[in-house]
Structure 1
C-alpha cells in the first residue's frame, strides 16, 4: 500500500458519519494529494519523495479529524433529523387512522407513544432549520447533535413498542390485515430511524465539548 493509500485509509477509519458525505470528503483528500504529487514529480522529485512530502505537509490525520468530524457530525444530525421528520408524521397518521377504525384494540398505547414521537419530530424539524439556512446567521449548538440522537432514539423506541402492540393486536383482534400492515410500516420506520440515531450518538460523542476540552 502506498503512502497516500495509508494516509487516506487512516483518515477514513478515523471519521464517522453519513457514508456519502464521508466518501466525498475522503475522495477530495485523495484528489488533492494526487494533484500535489503530480506537480512535484513534474518538478523532478520521485513519486515516493513527492508523496512523503505532500502527506507531511498536508498534516497529521489526528489534526484533520477534529474539524472534519464536526462537519460529519452535523451532517449525521441532519440525516437523523430528516429520517425522523419524514417517518414520524406518516407513522402517527397511520396510528391515528387505525385508532379511529380499529376501536380499542390498540389499548391506547400508540396514542401515548405518538406524543413522544411528535416531540421528536418537532425537534427534528427545528434541527433541519437550524443547521440549514439559519446556520448562516446562527451558530450550531455544540450539544444539538447529541440531543437529536437521543430524540431519534426515543422516537425509534416508541416505534418498536408500537410495533409490538400492533403485532399483539393483530393476533387478538379481528381487523388483523390493517393491523399487520400498520405494524410492518412502523417496524420499517423504526429500523430507519434507529440505525441513523445510533450513528448520530457515536458521532456526537466524538465531538462532545468535554472531549474537545481534554
Structure 2
C-alpha cells in the first residue's frame, strides 16, 4: 500500500460525521492529494519522494482528523441545542394552552354581557335598517 493510500485509509477509518459529509471530505482530500502529487512529480522524478513531499504539504493526518471531528462535534451540539429549545418551547406552549382551556377562558371570544342590548330597528327613507349596538350602522335588511 502506498503512502497516499495509507493516508486516505487512516483518514477514512477515523473521521466522524454522516456519510454524505464524510464522502465529500474524503473526495476533496483525495483531489487535493492528487493535485499536490502531480505538482511534486513534475518537480521530481522519484515517485516515493514525490509522495512524501505531497503528504508533508497536506499535513499530519492526525491533525486533520482531530480538527474534522471537533467540527462535527460542534455541529452536533448546535443541532441538539436547537432541538432542545424547540421541544421546551412546544412543551411550554402545550402546558399553557391546556391550562387556559381548563380555566374555561378563551381570549379570542370575550364572555357575553350579562344583559345583552337588543337590536334596534328604525326606518330610514323607507328602508328598514338594523342598528347594531357595537357598530354605527349595518347594511339594510332585505
1:80 offset after TM fit, Å?
6.2
Matches within 5 A, 1:17-96: 17-77=17-77
1:79–1:8 Cα change, 3 Å = farther
Q: Kindly tell me: are residues 40 and 72 of structure 1, through their superposed partners in 2, closer, same or farther at Cα, counting changes over 3 Å? A: same
Q: Over alpha carbons, which structure has the higher Rg?
A: 2
Change (3 A) 1:76 1:41: same
* Residue segments in structure 2 that go unaligned for 5+ positions in a row: 92-142
Aligned mates of 1:13, 1:67 — CA distance in 2: 15
User: Structure 1: 5+ residue runs without aligned partners?
Assistant: 90-117, 123-214
Q: Pairwise mapping of residues 126-205 of structure 1 onto structure 2 (< 5 A)?
A: none
Higher strand share: 2
User: TM-score when scaled to structure 1?
Assistant: 0.36
Post-superposition offset of 1:60: 1.7
Deviations 1:148-200 (A, max 9, x none): xxxxxxxxxxxxxxxxxxxxxxxxxxxxxxxxxxxxxxxxxxxxxxxxxxxxx
Using structure 2 for the length normalisation, give the TM-score.
0.51
What is the alpha-carbon distance in structure 1 between the residues aligned to residue 36 and residue 90 of structure 2? 45
Tell me: CA distance 1:119–1:11, structure 2 relative to 1, closer, same or farther (3 Å): same
**Deviations 1:103-158 (CA, angstroms, capped at 9, x unpaired):** xxxxxxxxxxxxxxx33978xxxxxxxxxxxxxxxxxxxxxxxxxxxxxxxxxxxx
Partners in 2 of 1:41 and 1:52 — Cα distance? 11
Q: Tell me how far 1:5 sits from its aligned partner.
A: 1.0
- Give the direction of change, closer, same or farther, for the CA distance of 1:76–1:57 in structure 2 (3 Å limit): same
1:8 corresponds to 2:3: no
In the alignment, is the contact (CA less than 8 A) between 2:40 and 2:50 conserved in 1? yes
C-alpha root-mean-square deviation of aligned residues, in Å?
2.9
Give the conservation status (yes or no) of the 8 Å contact 1:15–1:69: yes
Q: Give CA deviations for 1:8-34 in whole Å, capped at 9, x if unaligned.
A: 110121211111111111211111111
Q: Deviations over 1:50-107 (max 9, x none)?
A: 111111232222222222112222344466679x69xxx9xxxxxxxxxxxxxxxxxx
Aligned residues: 90
Q: Which has the higher contact order (CA 8 A, sep 6+)?
A: 1
Greater helix fraction, Structure 1 or Structure 2 = 1
CA distance in 2, matches of 1:17, 1:23: 10
Residues 15 and 22 in structure 1, CA contact (< 8 A), matched pair in contact too: yes
